[in-house]
Structure 1
């Protein structure tokens, strides 16, 4: 299990990973992203930015890097970085399949990605990922499972995923939407030859969206590594967009809203890796202060009051513009 490498790490940042969704393509839904990236969204500019972030993260002890087929050229950018550093052999690399990037490097595309959890898409995208990441791939995840996904019931797909697991690639899944808990529990029940199929789960969990917590705890108890994504709620928890309660607690700790928001997640005993989705090195460094935030019980309770109704949260997320 590749995440055993992280479990034995002793650096303060060993439970923080870097996700490349925001820098692997020119369009994304994070608030404030226009200011983060500036005017140059060329392939070379984003490759350079990605490598700068990877260098900074690795130097600070981050060892998990998360990409996806639909994150534009994120797999390619990460592969280039790894190939240029053959001595870097202690990182864990996770990617995802199930969405196809369709924006052709435009920010105003009518559709940026297309979802398909069928076996044919898995086989095509697995081959594409292998070309780029080869034996550096540790974890391959189904991208954004929901309760209606055919991947939950496709036995032929389950056999193929089990074959990948037998060859040394850990198999996981990510979730999205207001029914994440239902999805997680359905995925936990999937077995092949009497053995659980999945080794990891990646879900959205943050100060505004708590609904997956009980199921994530169950997944952790079942032996899965839990990866938390969208801890900053696509920028809604970062200054200057942060709610007043978060701003108040951040002022009490003398650290940023982002560090406090991520620290709140890190306090969950089931949270194995919490992803930073930073688009700039200063954002990354601010995120990496999270392990140093010492939240007391009162602050934890006050921050928990920020929770929204899951359906309202996901409806608002769905309205965020790509830019």
Structure 2
């Protein structure tokens, strides 16, 4: 598995990855986006920003980069950076299929992305990803699997994914929604010729949404690499939006709320890679301090009360505006 390369890495930030959802397209649901990006959101401006973030992340020990077909031009930006840096041969590159980007580089589109887990969409998007990332792609994930996703039962799709795996591509899935745990457990049961199909899982887990934790532990025990996304809860855990308890612990550590929030995830024994969704170099630098945060039992207890009921959390997330 490509993530075995991270196991041998020695930098404290090697288990923090950089996700490109916030910089691969002009519109997204993260809080504070107007301040982060301002009005300069041309293709060239976001390409430059993405490359600066990738440069800084790599220089500071980050070795996993995460894109998706629906993240606007994220694959294109990442591919150009890889081509310009041929010496960077020790990174793990992941992308996702299953959503089609439909906003046409606007922030006010009626629909920003369309979900389809059918085999025809996989074939189309796999070709699109291959045209950009070629053999630099290590991991291809089904985007946002839910318990009712046809991707869990479509045998034709499973055969296509197994064929890609036989050719050296690692196959994984991501999850979203209040029933993430059910989706994870259903995916763990998917086999082709008696062998598990999926080798990685990427799920939302943070101080406000912890419901997937037990299922992620089961996935880890089954041999999957666990990738954690939305560790900042789309900005709800970043100052100035962070809950008072998180602000208090951050002040005690002399680091940012974001570093504490990500450190809380890094300490989970099943967490293989925790994604930073930084949109600025300042955010990235602060996020990477998570590797140095040491939380005591009292601080952990005070943070544990922040967890919300899953449906309430996802209703709040679904209400966040694209901007």
Normalising by structure 1, we get a TM-score of: 1.00
Q: Provide the residue aligned with 2:21 in structure 1.
A: 21
CA distance in 1, matches of 2:59, 2:88: 11
The within-5 A match list for 1:159-198 is 159-198=159-198
Distance 1:14 1:83 in 2: 22
Task: Give the match for residue 231 of structure 1.
Answer: 231
Q: d(CA) in 2 for partners of 1:113 and 1:182?
A: 24
CA–CA distance in 2 between the matches of 1:302 and 1:172? 34
The answer on 1:283 being equivalent to 2:297 is no
Shift of residue 87 of structure 1? Answer: 1.0
CA deviation string 1:5-50 (max 9, x = no partner) = 0011110101100000000000000000011001111000000000
Match of residue 307 from structure 2:
307
Gaps of 5+ in 1: none
Secondary structure class of the residue paired with 2:294: coil
Mapped to 1, the partners of 2:299 and 2:134 lie a distance apart of 45
Measured in 2, the distance between the counterparts of 1:298 and 1:200 equals 33
Cα distance between partner residues in 1 of 2:260 and 2:246: 8
Q: In the TM superposition, what is the alpha-carbon distance from 1:298 to its structure 2 partner?
A: 1.2
Structure 2 distance, partners of 1:79, 1:53, is: 14
What's the counterpart of residue 209 of structure 2?
Answer: 209
Cα RMSD between the aligned structures? 0.3
- SS of residue paired to 2:268: coil
Other structure's SS at 1:289 match: helix
Separation of aligned partners in 2, 1:321 and 1:16: 27
Count of matched residue positions in the alignment of Structure 1 and Structure 2: 323
1:247 corresponding residue in structure 2: 247
Shift of 1:257: 0.2
Q: Deviations over 1:76-107 (max 9, x none)?
A: 00000000111110000000000000000000
1:80 aligns with 2:80: yes
- Which residue number in structure 1 is paired with residue 38 of structure 2? 38
Q: Alpha-carbon deviation of 1:130?
A: 0.1
State how 1:57-68 maps to structure 2 within 5 Å: 57-68=57-68
Q: Distance in 1 between matches of 2:304 and 2:226?
A: 20
Q: Report the Cα distance in structure 1 between the residues aligned to 2:17 and 2:7, rounded to whole angstroms.
A: 13
Residue 97 in 1 paired to residue 94 in 2?
no
* 1:133-152 equivalent positions in 2, closer than 5 A: 133-152=133-152
Q: Distance in 2 between matches of 1:206 and 1:248?
A: 17
Match of 2:3 in 1: 3
Q: Secondary structure at the match of 1:270?
A: coil
Aligned partner of residue 183 in structure 1, secondary structure: helix
Q: For residues 237-256 of structure 1, what are the alpha-carbon distances to aligned partners after superposition, in whole Å with 9 as ceiling and x for unaligned?
A: 00000000000000111100
Q: Using the TM superposition, give the Cα deviation of residue 301 of structure 1 relative to its aligned residue in structure 2, in angstroms.
A: 1.4
| Distance of 2:198 and 2:241 partners within structure 1 | 36
2: CA distance, partners of 1:13 / 1:286: 12
> C-alpha displacement at 1:300, in angstroms?
1.0
